[in-house]
Structure 1
Amino acid sequence: MCCSTPGKHTTLTAIMAEKHTKPNFNQPQVDELVKRLFKLTPAEICSLPSYDDQNFYVAVAEGGEYVLKIVNSEDSKNVGMIEVQTYAMTFLHQNGLPAQTALPTTSGKLMSLEEMDCGYGSQKYLVRLLTYLPGTTISQSTLTPQLLYETGKTAARMDLILQEIDHPHLNAIQRENFIWSLSNTPLLERYTHLLDGDPLQEVVKSVIHKYKTFVVPKQSNFRKCINHGDFNDLNILVQPDENDGYKISGILDFGDMNSGYYIHELAITIMCMMTEHPNPIEVGGPVLAGWESVLPLNEAEKDCLYPLVLCRFCQSLVLPRQFMLLYPENVEYLMLCSRRSVDLLPMMWELGKEQVEKVWFESAAQFVDRKR
């Protein structure tokens, strides 16, 4: 999963301060939680992959399928932030996008703070039971131009709807030092030493410099919004449609929601779709066309799309290496996106801004012409 990662929303500083934040509930504990909190009887429980939260597929004897999501102990301290994320999912669902919703507990609340010892002392974890959405991840489908177009269109619709959210704890998603926000690209400088001896280190440093000297001066012209922040190949579900293609059937993982800019969501989406495509450079055109069918870019946003995609590649290359030091048992999952970035970042850097933009913007225009 590209950058993806259900639950990778704590800052590195927070994780380093307290390494053992990831829940480690066993199946009997999950069974007990579901019975006690929701008065449901689990018939099947399966562990699902995650970054620093813990997720379980749960089928219940009463009928129905769910995802039990147990938030890491660090983020569980920020109840307001999790409340906003949960509300955002419901708000999108109410406005026609296929997002999960939370099942109320027996007390009528959408989450419960549970204290548990997972092997390194008693800690508190927020627990939610979310609806299970149909479909397979977009990473398992063929990324046709039409599906990429729909992905870009959905990303833009999502951010426009999120911008209408009104919630008493909305300020909780400001997240000034959130390490995965593209606004915080310069924070990567703290971790470039993890690439010592790797030729990619110079590319990463050059991209960070480009961000500070080229993107930052134009940022005042970016349009602000609320970002999903991780619209990637494992957080998008699809189902076959009536035209032998696919339609988007689910949007997952709102753990990276943050106050950002529309152009950030588009850059993240393009980067993540590139990691799953046999000809990555071809991804940008149809995704961009889909996005602009809803929300056309202004000149500053157009000018910064390429460097922001590079910034996301740098984040996905550098940050998992830090997390691997903390969670060596989760190396395979942490490296899912980083492996592709090793190849794609230098390729994109060597092609250069002019050539990449030519491909993206010309193919976007051609795609729109074909749809007319």
Structure 2
Amino acid sequence: MDNATAADPRPTLTLQQATDLTLKLYGVTTAEISTLPSYYDQNFFLVDNEGTKYVLKIMNSEESKKATLLEVQTSAMSFLHQHGVPAQTAVPTSSGQLMSMEKIDCGHGAQTYCVRLLTYLPGKTVAESPMTTRDLYHVGKLVASMDKSLQQMVSPNQDVFQRNDVVWSLSNIPLIENYISVMDGDPLQDVIKAVIEQYKSQVQPKLSSFQKGIIHGDTNDQNIIVTPVGNGHHNVSGMLDFSLLSNDCYVFEVAITIMYAMLENARPLDVGGAVLAGWESIMTLNEDERDSLFLLVLGRLCQSLVYGRYNAQKNPTKNKKYILSTAKTGFRLLAQLWELGKKEVESKWFADASTFSDN
């Protein structure tokens, strides 16, 4: 999380640099280019002379050092695409490589960045779309299907998914304490501290009973693409950003999906049951996982609020709107959930989940 180094690891290519890079590596002549939001990396939307759309993704220089991890992530995207999950795939360079390490000067010294040209998935993000509970059921189902498909993936470098150092993992919620000072003076700081303490006493002892496998790790409302199908409903048409793929607990994926889908929903309490029902149509949570779901959702909300504020303060000019996107409704949501309490929220989620049938 803390990249307080002399050179900022985040790439800041100009549109011209990105255009030139695309031509050099892929032989693609860009007719149209614009920037897309990103937390740590840099993404460009581009259209070539034939009208084909792509996303050019430039990884930050710190993550770019993990070449093997990036190779396995790129393979996972292709694997999922082949298994019916709407994931982006990498376009080969002119020399046949799925990724290229490029030394680029973004104005603060040359650094090496991993560059990939990805296929474009049409649609809008969940954050931009009014989702019905039926839509959210299908989101939960697709996320579970994706994780179940990943159980079949075989790679000689699969050990790279053992990533215990990822601060965003829900097993690392206590690490929020290292950054809690950014909330000084905020009345919700005490709530965040209480969530951490309850996580330590009520969730940590159960971690060993949680089912594990390779999970996406960041199924947020900006990383799930949907397309309208009429009557106010949507189909899930894309899963983006596999940079947090890791061997972790399946219930973490459920909690992350619920939390971010609640942010933009006019009726946030209706989200949990719908996502849970969709998930459990593919994989069932055990008793300990269900009992931990409320605190895991709150834990992810606390991570997002604290780390978002920390990063916005540390790099005030970098993607601030995107980094703080959770904060817009997140503080109100945290206060609401905390006030209602675990028993009331989980009762509603589990009762709602039992009303769904698979169609």
Does residue 340 of structure 2 align to residue 332 of structure 1? no
Of 145-154 and 191-200, more deviation after overlay is shown by: 191-200
Provide the residue aligned with 2:354 in structure 1.
Answer: 365
1:247 is matched with 235
Q: CA deviation at 1:320?
A: 0.8
Gaps of 5+ in 2: none
- Match runs of 1:204-243 below 5 Å: 204-241=192-229
Question: How far 1:140 moved relative to its partner?
Answer: 2.2
The reply to whether residue 193 of structure 1 matches residue 178 of structure 2 is no
Helix, strand or coil: the match of 1:133?
coil
**1:107 is aligned to 2:106:** no
Q: Which residue in 2 is equivalent to 1:80? A: 68
> In 2, distance between residues paired with 1:135 and 1:182?
29
Match of 1:284 among 264, 272, 292: 272
> 2:170 and 2:354 mapped to 1: Cα distance?
27
Shift of 1:244: 5.4
Q: 1:54 is matched by which residue type in structure 2? A: Q
RMSD: 1.4
Per the TM alignment, residue 143 of structure 1 is displaced from its structure 2 partner at its CA by 1.1
Which structure 1 residue ranges, 4+ long, deviate > 6 Å from structure 2?
A: none
Question: Alpha-carbon deviations, 1:171-213, whole Å to 9, x = none?
Answer: 2222211111101111111011111111111111111111111
Q: CA deviation at 1:242?
A: 6.0
Greater relative contact order (Cα < 8 A, sep 6+): 1
Alignment partner for residue 334 of structure 2, among 339, 342, 345? 345
Q: Which residue is equivalent to 1:155?
A: 143
Distance 1:147 1:19 in 2: 43
Count of residue pairs the alignment pairs up = 358
2:118 and 2:189 map into 1 onto residues whose CA distance is 40
Match of 1:323 among 288, 302, 311: 311
Separation in 2 of the partners of 1:147 and 1:156? 14
- Quick check: 1:41–1:62 contact (8 Å CA) kept in 2? no
Structure 1 CA distance for aligned equivalents of residues 226 and 258 of structure 2: 17
| Matched letter for residue 231 of structure 1 | T
Secondary structure of the structure 1 residue equivalent to 2:343? helix
Match of 2:254 in 1: 266
Contact 2:131 2:233 (C-alpha < 8 Å) held by counterparts: no
Q: Is the 8 A contact 2:7 2:108 kept in 1?
A: no
Question: For the residues of structure 1 that align with 2:323 and 2:309, how far apart are their CA atoms?
Answer: 8
Q: Percent identity?
A: 49
Residue equivalent to 1:305: 293
1:194 & 1:202 partners in 2: Cα distance? 13
d(CA) in 1 for partners of 2:90 and 2:200?
Answer: 40
TM, length-normalised to structure 1: 0.93
Find the counterpart in structure 2 of residue 9 from structure 1.
none
Relative to the length of structure 2, the TM-score reads 0.97
Opposite residue 366 of structure 1, the aligned amino acid is T
> 1:168 Cα deviation (Å)?
2.5
User: Which residue of the partner structure matches residue 125 of structure 1?
Assistant: 113
Q: Which moved more, 1:231-240 or 1:160-169?
A: 160-169
Does the 8 Å CA contact 2:131/2:234 hold for their aligned counterparts?
A: no
Are 1:49 and 2:37 counterparts?
yes
Per-residue deviation, residues 12-69 of structure 1 (Å, max 9, x unmatched)? 13x2245501101112211111111111111111111111101001111144110000
User: How far is 1:249 from its partner?
Assistant: 0.8
* Other-structure match for 1:3: none
Write the letter of the residue equivalent to 1:92. Answer: L
Q: Distance in 2 between matches of 1:100 and 1:155?
A: 15
Contact 2:132 2:232 in 1 (8 A): no
Q: Secondary structure at the match of 1:241?
A: strand
Contact 1:139–1:234 (8 Å) recurs in 2: yes
- Alignment of 1:174 with 2:162, yes or no, is yes
CA shift for structure 1 position 236: 1.0
Unaligned runs of 5+ in 1: 1-11
Q: Contact 1:92–1:161 at 8 Å: present in 2 too?
A: yes
| 1:7 alignment partner in structure 2 | none
